[in-house]
Amino acid sequence: MRLLHTSDWHLGQTLHNHDRTYEHQCFLDWLADTLVEERIDVLLIAGDIFDTANPSSSAQRQLYRFLQQARTRAPHLQVVVIAGNHDSPGRLEAPTPLLEAHGTIVVGNVPRRGDGEIDLERLLVPLSDHDGNTAAWCLAVPFLRPGDLPRLRAAEGGQAADDSVRDPYEHGTALLYRQAHALARERAAEGQPIVAMGHCHMARSQPSEDSERRIVIGGSEALPVGMFDAGIAYAALGHLHLAQRVGGLEHVRYCGSPLPLSFSEVGYRHQVLRIDLDGANPAVVTPLYVPRPVQLLRVPALPAPPEEALAALEALALDADLPQQAWPYLEVRVLLDGPEPGLRARVEAILAGKPVRLAKIEPTRKLVAASSETEALSLDQLAQLQPDDIFRRLWRQKYGDEAPPDQIDAFAELFHAVGGDAP
């Protein structure tokens, strides 16, 4: 059977306050086409389907419209969704009765039975092939919070977690996967592979700069790949935005986000992963690259002094025929040796009328040698300093030169405006 592994759609996300509905819709349209063209049996969405726990109504409509259209075009399609750390588990699960009637299984929470123990049956999803027959099993484990984990005292034969476990979160996560995998082995017929899903930060993996929210629970920031049983055919992970193998293992993967979520991903090719399962044989993983509907530009390529950066903007060649929703996002990279109060106005003047959207101006400060004023001041000396003296000293420390008169005047005006001259 054939699966498609996706994650981290972040529907509703904005890029430096620019709406991205058009880009998300382009991805969803491409994904619907891909599901049909690749004859996908199961779509796995490994968390962070929304950018916030309280997504807009338009972001929610975008998701449900996609699920409806995908099912219409591929009537056999099964969809398995787990919640990520950005998602609200309850909000994701709210429409479960309607979604399950149309082939979509959502696992937002770790369910518990009446006796308080985890209901592992609810985490175990049978996966159907193109003919509707169960051909594999999925451990659909959402993003885990400490309260979601097995009760270690009961699970470990009465031993208290504090006494026997160095890292309860890491230990509890591994225990939950072991328990779910054991149940899957009981349910699976001969030759039926077992797939795991998870939304977490794994050890020996590479985050995307400026793009992901760190997950630190207890002492755990990254979980060991050994928490997945060696018998698992494939582990479909979400949270990190760069596609990668974990620990060098072909069958434990992040697929990454389908769209760039920061300018650090300018040169990166986003993808989803096609997974071919054939009984007990190793899973065959094939990347399918996602078209980028809106380009990200960094100008200049490396930070440059203001005049060089402005000249690069003047020379910027852009496609005037692009519709406004497809105009590129622009990051201007400027190397500064001091404040440039009028820089943004100059940048905006140059870009006026150009088919581009200014997302951010990224300043980089030139390294300044340490100031010779290193002698510590006594409390009496500090008490004698006037506010403008402190301002001048800080300026010399940061920029290695005397503060310009206009900056001193601006500081004085601001100081007096906030009542600094009051008795």
Say how far apart CA 325 and CA 394 lie, in whole Å: 44
Average pLDDT on 379-401 reads 73
Here the tokens at position 337 are 């040796």
Question: Has residue 422 got a pLDDT over 50?
Answer: no
Predicted pLDDT of residue 153? 57
Q: pLDDT tens digit string along 211-258?
A: 656 665 545 668 999 999 999 999 999 999 999 999 999 999 999 999
240 half-sphere exposure, CB direction, 13 A CA radius: 24
Average pLDDT on 2-7 reads 97
Question: Has residue 163 got a pLDDT over 60?
Answer: no
The domain ranges of the chain are: 2-153+167-289, 296-365, 379-419
Question: Has residue 371 got a pLDDT over 80?
Answer: no
Question: Has residue 262 got a pLDDT over 60?
Answer: yes
Question: Has residue 418 got a pLDDT over 80?
Answer: no
3-state secondary structure 228-262: CCCCCCEEEEECCCCCEEECCEEEEEECCCCCCCC
Question: Has residue 137 got a pLDDT over 80?
Answer: yes
Predicted pLDDT of residue 158? 45
Q: 400 falls in which pLDDT band (50, 70, 90)?
A: low
Nearest to 122 by CA among 136, 146, 139, 102: 139
Say how far apart CA 10 and CA 32 lie, in whole Å: 17
Q: What is residue 85's three-state secondary structure?
A: coil
Predicted pLDDT of residue 279? 86
Cβ–Cβ under 8 Å, residues 257 and 7? yes
Question: Has residue 123 got a pLDDT over 50?
Answer: yes
Residues with Cβ within 8 Å of residue 342, at least 6 apart in sequence = none
Phi then psi for residue 412, to 5 deg, are -60, -40
Cβ–Cβ under 8 Å, residues 5 and 42? no
Compute the CA torsion angle 48, 119, 5, 207 (nearest 10 deg).
Answer: 50
Angle (CA) 341 17 273, round 5°:
130
Average pLDDT on 378-396 reads 74
CATH architecture of 296-365: 2-Layer Sandwich (3.30)
Secondary element (H or E) of residue 404: none
Q: 167 falls in which pLDDT band (50, 70, 90)?
A: confident
The amino acid present at 164, given as its one-letter code, is: S
Q: How many residues does the chain have?
A: 423
Q: Number of helices (H) and strands (E), helices first, in the chain?
A: 12, 17
For every residue of 274-331, DSSP letters joined together read EEE--TTSPPEEEEEEPP-SS-EEEEEEEEE-HHHHHHHHHT----TTS-GGGPPEEE
Cβ–Cβ under 8 Å, residues 21 and 15? no
Any idea which of 156-165, 311-320, 352-361, 386-395 has the lowest mean pLDDT?
156-165
Here the tokens at position 314 are 């003047």
| Sign of the CA dihedral with 187 first, then 188, 194, and 195 last | negative
Nearest to 137 by CA among 1, 6, 8: 1
CA distance readout (Å), 128 to 49, 135, 153: 23, 6, 37
Average pLDDT on 148-165 reads 59
Task: Name residue 423's beta-bridge partners.
Answer: none
Q: 423 falls in which pLDDT band (50, 70, 90)?
A: very low
- Computed over every residue of the chain, the mean pLDDT equals 88
Cβ–Cβ under 8 Å, residues 161 and 187? no
Q: pLDDT tens digit string along 193-217?
A: 999 999 999 988 887 766 656 665 5
Predicted pLDDT of residue 250? 94
Class of the CATH domain delimited by 2-153+167-289: alpha beta
Residues with Cβ within 8 Å of residue 410, at least 6 apart in sequence = none
